[in-house]
Amino acid sequence: MKQKQADKERKAYLNFLKNIDQINKIIQRSKDMNQMLWNVLKTSLSIFNCDRIWLLYPCDPNAPTFRVQTEINNKEYPGAFQLDTDIPMKPGGDKICKTILESKLPVQYGPDEKHKIYPELHKEFGVLSQLVMAIYPKTGKAWALGMHQCSHPRKWTNDEILLFNEIGRRIEDSLSSLLFFKNLQESEEEHRTLFENSTIGIYRTTPDGKVLMANPALLKMLGYSSLKELQKINLEKDLDERIYPRSKFKSMINQKGTIYGYETQYVKKDGTTIDINESAQIIKNSNGEVLYYEGWAEDITLRKKAEKALFESERKFRNLFNSSSDGIIISDEKYRILAINETLINLLGFKKGSLLRKKIIEIIHPKYAEIIKQRISDLYNEESLPPIEIETYIASGDIISVEISCKIIDYENRKAILTMIRDISERKETERKILNAVIETEEREKERFAKDLHDGLGPLLSAAKIYSKSFQLSENIEEKTQIIKKLEETIDDAILGIQEISNNLSPHVLRNFGLTTAIESFYKKITDTSSLKFAFGSNFDIRVSEKIETTLYRIIVELINNTLKHSNAKTILLKLIHKENNLFLHYADDGTGFNINKTLSKNTGMGLSNIISRIKSLNGDINMSSSNNKGYSVKMRITLN
């Protein structure tokens, strides 16, 4: 068995060497890049017995288009037929580029593989399986080399994958040489027009400061109309060393022979300065004597201003990040936490190092994990998402409620997600109290309604029943007449009782005449039966939605009843002011007052909580103030639709 395995491995290795030698000979005989690629791919098609093999450029997931440089296929399975033509990057193409760029070995696609064939690729070209890799010439962007199997699904063996990878590396090395040679040939032609048409300043100057040559871009950059005009300036003698440090430039270039990316300033004709990124080299004669300095200068004034603005922006971001009252997490698409501010550290109670080793989905309640994953995916697909409420763990093991809002930002030269996290535990508790207050108020209303029915209508209906029975038993006409009269009176009382109960549930005055008239009707009933003074002013003379009118009416009735029950007040002041699209309500009494916060924190504060919840249900604002022996005041504002 061992001998057979060894023979098999030796045979596979010899076959590998044979195929690689075949590819090497093709490459060595080729001087034309396109012919070399054609011959290599045609031979590879035969070696692998596949249906199509191709090479495209660039392998860049962010590129809008790509070009098929070379493509060989069996006649049964035609290819793109668009060689050296810009083709839009299609769905799935960008993902393939990203995948193979991240892989060191060729990547398989197929029905039984981790990576599936994209439907568009199968539909257009009949691809059932493919093997793809990225190759990296030493000049330019990466290329993609791939082969298709269309006749049947295929799983390439490890030996085939290694051979394919080695052929790709041979193409990579050959492309590096041929592209360099091609670029060199093209550069000779380009050099003839570069000097005149370049947007970068090009110059030659002597060590003693004479300007030998300057292209139009440099002349324009410095504000000179001609080379002759610029040559009147000697760089050694006529420019202030403090502004244009010529001696520093000479020291650097004489020491190293070249300088690259040296940032300095040039003086323009009008005396102003511009920021420059400069590269230069020494040109010598055959005796080693310096002839001149040849250099390139790029105006980076705008870039320097942008860098300064970016630095200032980043400084403000850091300040905001560190001083925000909300917790902030920056994470990547793989849920790893990249940065976290002190506010969130204090909120969660974990050590910073511990949090940075976690993934964002590890600190939230598991039931929200899929939601967060989907949101992250949506954000990277450039969707805008509203804030949501979730639950997260803290160091003690407890769970707190938080509100999160997320957005995509640029962080350290890559896209990341910034998540603002706000602790809403207190708000949730307040909402719970408000909900309980609403429920309790509704229960009280139901109890009052039941009591009114029981105490008011119950006896009257019982009496009516008795009168009805008496009428049936009586044989005296005069007595029957009296019974009918009493029965009618009882029914009238019952009708009045129903009207009164109905009016308490939904005042007919409010429905028919509006809020101002309903308030006047209500407080007149109060002042007719008590010594309480009531001052009411209003310019609110329009009708709005039934919800707004009913809610405000209930609030005002609740406030007046609270004053009557608890404050010992002598006067109530109420104002309704309609201004533009807002309605302002101001209520005040001169009663004994109370501690609002203390009252709200106890069960006795349900009435106030109910008032607050009603105003918030209208998206309004409310502000209460009170203290012992100084009365009670409440101001509200709602926006009218």
pLDDT tens digits, one per residue of 378-397? 888 877 778 888 888 888 88
Helix (H, G, I), strand (E, B) or coil at 534: strand
List, in sequence order, every residue forming a beta bridge with 328; answer none if it has no partner. 420
Q: Is residue 305 part of a domain?
A: no
3-class SS of residue 582: strand
DSSP class of residue 16 equals H
| Sign, Cα dihedral of 286, 287, 290, 291 | negative
Which SS3 state, helix, strand or coil, does residue 421 take? strand
For every residue of 280-309, DSSP letters joined together read: EEEEE-TTS-EEEEEEEEEE-HHHHHHHHH
For the chain, residues with pLDDT lower than 50 are none
131: exposed, middle or buried (Cβ count in 10 Å: 0-12, 13-18, 19+) = buried
Amino acid letter, 601: S
Same domain as 516, residue 492: no
Domain boundary among 157, 183, 209: 183
Residues 514 and 614 occupy one common structural domain: yes
Two tokens, residue 544:
């709005």
First to last CA, the chain: 88
Per the document, the length of the chain is: 641
Last residue of a domain, one of 479, 505, 531: 505
pTM over 0.85: no
The answer to whether residues 163 and 206 belong to one domain is: no
Q: What φ, ψ does residue 183 adopt, rounded to 5°? A: -65, -35
Helical pair 606-617 and 546-562, crossing angle rounded to 10 deg: 160
Whether 311 maps to a domain, the answer reads: no
Record the tokens describing residue 404, joined without a space.
């999160």
In 49-157, which residue ranges form alpha helices assigned H by DSSP?
Answer: 93-101, 119-125
- Mapping DSSP to helix (H, G, I), strand (E, B) and coil, where does residue 479 land? helix
The residues that bridge with 258 in the sheet, in sequence order, are 281
Closest CA to 365 of 402, 328, 325, 418: 402
Q: Which residues contact 257 (CB under 8 A, 6 or more apart)?
A: 281, 282
Last residue of a domain, one of 269, 299, 329: 299
Cβ atoms 274, 268 nearer than 8 A: yes
Tokens describing residue 392: 């997260």
Mapping DSSP to helix (H, G, I), strand (E, B) and coil, where does residue 635 land?
strand
Residue (of 139, 99, 135) closest to 116 by Cα position: 99
The total of structural domains in the chain comes to: 5
CATH number at residue 161: 3.30.450.40
Which residues does residue 52 pair with via DSSP β-bridges, in sequence order?
73, 148
Q: Which pLDDT score is estimated for 382?
A: 77
How big is the chain by its Cα radius of gyration, in Å?
Answer: 43
Q: What is the pLDDT of residue 113?
A: 92
Q: Is 234:210 a contact under the CB 8 Å cutoff?
A: yes
DSSP 228: H
Asked if the structure places residue 168 within a domain, the reply is yes
Query: Residues 431, 416: one domain?
Result: no
Per the CB < 8 A criterion, the answer to whether 523 and 536 are in contact is yes
CA 639, CA 95: separation in Å to the nearest integer? Answer: 50
In the block, residue with structure tokens 């106030």? 608
Bridge partners of residue 407, in order along the sequence: 418
Query: Quick check: helix, strand or coil at residue 444?
Result: helix
Give the CA angle between residues 315, 317, 319 to the nearest 5°. 70
Same domain, 24 and 152: yes
In a domain, 234, yes or no: yes
Q: Which residues, in sequence order, are CB contacts of 60 under 8 Å at separation 6+?
A: 66, 97, 141, 142
Which H/E stretch holds residue 468? helix 458-473
Residues 492 and 555 grouped into a single domain: no
Whether 443 and 586 map to the same domain: the answer is no
- The CATH number covering residue 599 comes to 3.30.565.10
- Here the tokens at position 406 are 């997320």
155-184: string of b/e by CB count within 10 Å (b at 16+)? ebeeebbebbbebbebbbebbbebeeeeee
- Whether a cis peptide bond, with omega within 30° of 0, leads into 137 is no
SS (H, E, C) 147-165: EEECCCCCCCCHHHHHHHH
577 shares its domain with 591 = yes
Residue 305 has which token pair? 């201003």
Q: How far is CA 521 from the centre of its chain?
A: 54
E strands present in 300-387: 327-331, 337-340
Backbone angles phi, psi at 271, to 5 degrees: 95, -10
According to DSSP, the residues that pair with 586 across neighbouring strands are: 575, 635
Task: Judge whether 307 lies within some domain.
Answer: no
Paired sense of beta strands 632-639 and 621-626, if any: antiparallel
Identify whether 189 is part of a domain: no
Q: Reading across the β-sheet that carries 143-149, which strands appear in turn? A: 87-88, 65-73, 52-57, 143-149, 129-135, 107-109
Q: Is residue 387 part of a domain?
A: yes
- Average pLDDT of the residues of the chain: 82
476 and 540 co-located in one domain: no
DSSP of 61-83? TT-SEEEEEEEEE-TTS-----B
Measure the CA–CA gap between 607 and 623, rounded to whole angstroms: 15
Among the listed residues 367, 27, 33, the one whose alpha carbon sits nearest the alpha carbon of residue 186: 33
Residue 460 CB neighbour total at 10 angstroms:
19
d(CA 73, CA 83): 13
Quote the CA–CA distance of 333 and 377 in Å, as a whole number: 8
Pair (513, 552) in one structural domain = yes
Same domain, 500 and 533: no
| HSE (side-chain half, CA atoms, 13 Å) at 228 | 0
Q: By residue range, what is the domain housing residue 293?
A: 198-299
In a domain, 1, yes or no: no
CATH number of the domain enclosing 259: 3.30.450.20
Q: Which of 340, 341, 328, 332 is nearest to 377 (CA)?
A: 332
CB 501 within 8 A of CB 452: yes
Please tell me whether residues 529 and 466 are part of one structural domain.
Answer: no
